[in-house]
Amino acid sequence: MWYLCVFFHRYLDYRKPEVESLAQLFGAFKDNQNDVVHPQLQWKLPLHHHPDSPFHLVNLPSEEIARNIANRSILVKGMYELWGEGGSYEELKESILSYPDERKLPYLESNSTFRITVDTFGKVISLQEQKELIQGFTYIPFKGKVNLRNPDHNFWLIEIDNSEGNNGLPPVVQKTMFFGREVGVSDRKLIPTYELKSRTYLGPTAMDAEIAFLMANQALATPGKLVYDPFVGTGSILVAAAHFGAMTMGADIDIRVVRDGRGPDRNVWSNFKQYGLEMPVGLLRADNNLPPWRPGLKEVFDAIICDPPYGVRAGGRKSGGRKLLKGAVEPYVVPDDKRTDHIPSTAPYSLVECVHDLLDLAAKMLVMGGRLVFFYPILREEDSPHNHFPEHPCFKLISSSEQILSSRYCRVLLTMVKISPYTEEIHLAARLQHLEFKENHVKWLEEGNLHSAVFSPADAQLKEAGDYKSKDSKLKYRGKYV
């Protein structure tokens, strides 16, 4: 059945992938034999609407699945059974009256309560206008009583204006009115509850709460699943996964982060305690370049979710130190009496090498059908030869969603699903893919261009134009959030 899916007007590229992931999570494709990895939902745009419009029609197999998606989604505002639509209220009336009575009558009975809510996009209307619009639905034979606080059935009138200032979108050719029964709505308190400014323990690279929940949804985090973050930091991503009931586990190369934090009441563990979440199974001091897992251990995690360091706010590090990696000093053993407070030396860890190690780790440690969800930076130029994503023979890329960092760069949320077991042959094939990938990307990733594009002097453009007068050379953040 087709449902009206109304999105929040933000993170436009993330919206459909999240809904499709949740549809798979709630069993929308259990009878689909054509593509067991990641089937696609059927989508339609309302007439005259722009692809970035927050209004879409989606075909789902049941109302229960539509409700579950809306209740859990971060970007879906609501799902509605559409009773009618039109370019005027006369057309809307005709559309509602022509909707099958067998679909309408169960929600109009005398032993039920109802409410009609008016919502708009691209315009604001007064309470008096809303009241007049609601009173215009006398042709619908409601037999129940009105209940504004806790009705059995909530109906929505949604009006889209055709003005020029339509929230940054091209104006709709004509006004559109939707009327439908609410099937499910999102939890509006979730993001304010978990926002970073109220977090007990916070670091400079902590993942925004809304993005962390989107990543957890992409990874299909649910009770009984084990989710791993190899760059755990202050645990923001694992907090989101734990909220959905998943068991969590993390690792970081900086032992001060995972062990000490900023004191006994300000550490990764206290973030879970703050929200009453299940504590992580474990937090390891581990190097993604030299993972601690015993040889032969495979298929442990249901999902790996992370934000690899790509050198903007924090550069990647790996074990060894420059002298050790160059062979200037021999490997050493830390004495037992110094191990408690010892901080191992580290060396720079390039993003290309980091991503290769991440894919190799995921290929070994993810169960079949498990998901790898991570961010990767790319150039915004459409025809750039560098704009292809890291690949691995074990994985199929099922979605990529962009978030703008600057005028030249954006980061892409990649969601991959494991489709084949890890073997020695696949390991060798992946190594060849990595060498080709490194050759194409090393020029711009390893020369620091990404950092300088996001952090640049505020007056750099004036300087290039020959009108540079400011002496302030302090680097300022030049990024942009959508």
Amino acid at 71: N
Rounded CA separation 358/366 (Å): 11
Q: Burial level of 52, CB count in 10 A (0-12/13-18/19+)?
A: middle
Percentage of the chain modeled with pLDDT above 90: 56
Average pLDDT over residues 431-452: 62
Lookup: tokens for 93: 């009336």
- Confidence category of residue 325, pLDDT binned at 50, 70, 90: low
Most confident residue range from 49-53, 156-160, 407-411, 476-480: 156-160
pLDDT at position 157: 96
Percentage of the chain modeled with pLDDT above 70: 83
Q: Tell me the pLDDT of the chain averaged across its residues.
A: 84
Asked if the model's pLDDT at residue 470 lies above 80, the reply is no
pLDDT at position 441: 60
- Confidence category of residue 353, pLDDT binned at 50, 70, 90: confident
pLDDT at position 480: 33
pLDDT digits (tens, 9 = 90+) for 388-401: 788 899 999 999 99
Average pLDDT over residues 460-465: 40
pLDDT at position 482: 31
Asked if the model's pLDDT at residue 31 lies above 70, the reply is no
Rounded to the nearest 5°, which phi and psi values hold at 24?
-70, -40
- Confidence category of residue 453, pLDDT binned at 50, 70, 90: very low
pLDDT digits (tens, 9 = 90+) for 227-257: 999 999 999 999 999 999 999 999 999 888 8
Asked if the model's pLDDT at residue 384 lies above 90, the reply is no
Q: With b meaning 16 or more CB within 10 Å and e meaning fewer, what string describes 88-124? A: ebeebbebbeebeeeebeebeeeebbbbbebeebbee
